[in-house]
Structure 1
Amino acid sequence: MNYSGNLTVINVMEPIVADVLEEHYVRAGILKCTCDRCKLDILLLTLNHLPSRYTSSQEGEAYIKALYMNPQHQSDVLREITESVKIIENKPNH
Structure 2
Amino acid sequence: MLRLKLLGQVLPHYLMNLEEVLVMRVKNYMEDVIDRMFPEVIKRYPEVCKCQRCASDIKAIALNHLPPKYVATEAGEVYTKVNELSSQFEADAITALVIAIKKVIERPRH
| Corresponding residue number in structure 2 for 1:30 | 45
Q: Distance in 2 between matches of 1:33 and 1:68?
A: 31
Write 1 or 2 for the structure with the bigger share of strand. 2
Superposed CA RMSD: 1.9
Q: Distance in 2 between matches of 1:81 and 1:23?
A: 10
Aligned residues: 86
Which of 72, 77, 88 matches 1:56? 72
Q: Structure 2: any 5+ residue segments left out of the alignment?
A: 1-18
| Corresponding residue number in structure 1 for 2:87 | 71
What TM-score does the superposition give when structure 1 sets the normalisation length? 0.80
**Percent identity of equivalent pairs:** 26
Which of 12, 15, 18 matches 2:32? 15
| Corresponding residue number in structure 2 for 1:93 | 109
Task: Tell me, yes or no, if the aligned pair for 1:43 and 1:81 is still in contact at 8 Å.
Answer: yes
What TM-score does the superposition give when structure 2 sets the normalisation length? 0.69
Structure of greater Rg: 2
Q: Distance in 2 between matches of 1:29 and 1:72?
A: 20
Q: Distance in 2 between matches of 1:79 and 1:29?
A: 13
Write the letter of the residue equivalent to 2:45.
Answer: I
| Corresponding residue number in structure 1 for 2:100 | 84
Q: Structure 1: any 5+ residue segments left out of the alignment?
A: none
Say which SS state the counterpart of residue 50 (structure 1) adopts.
coil
Aligned-pair distance for 1:69?
A: 1.9
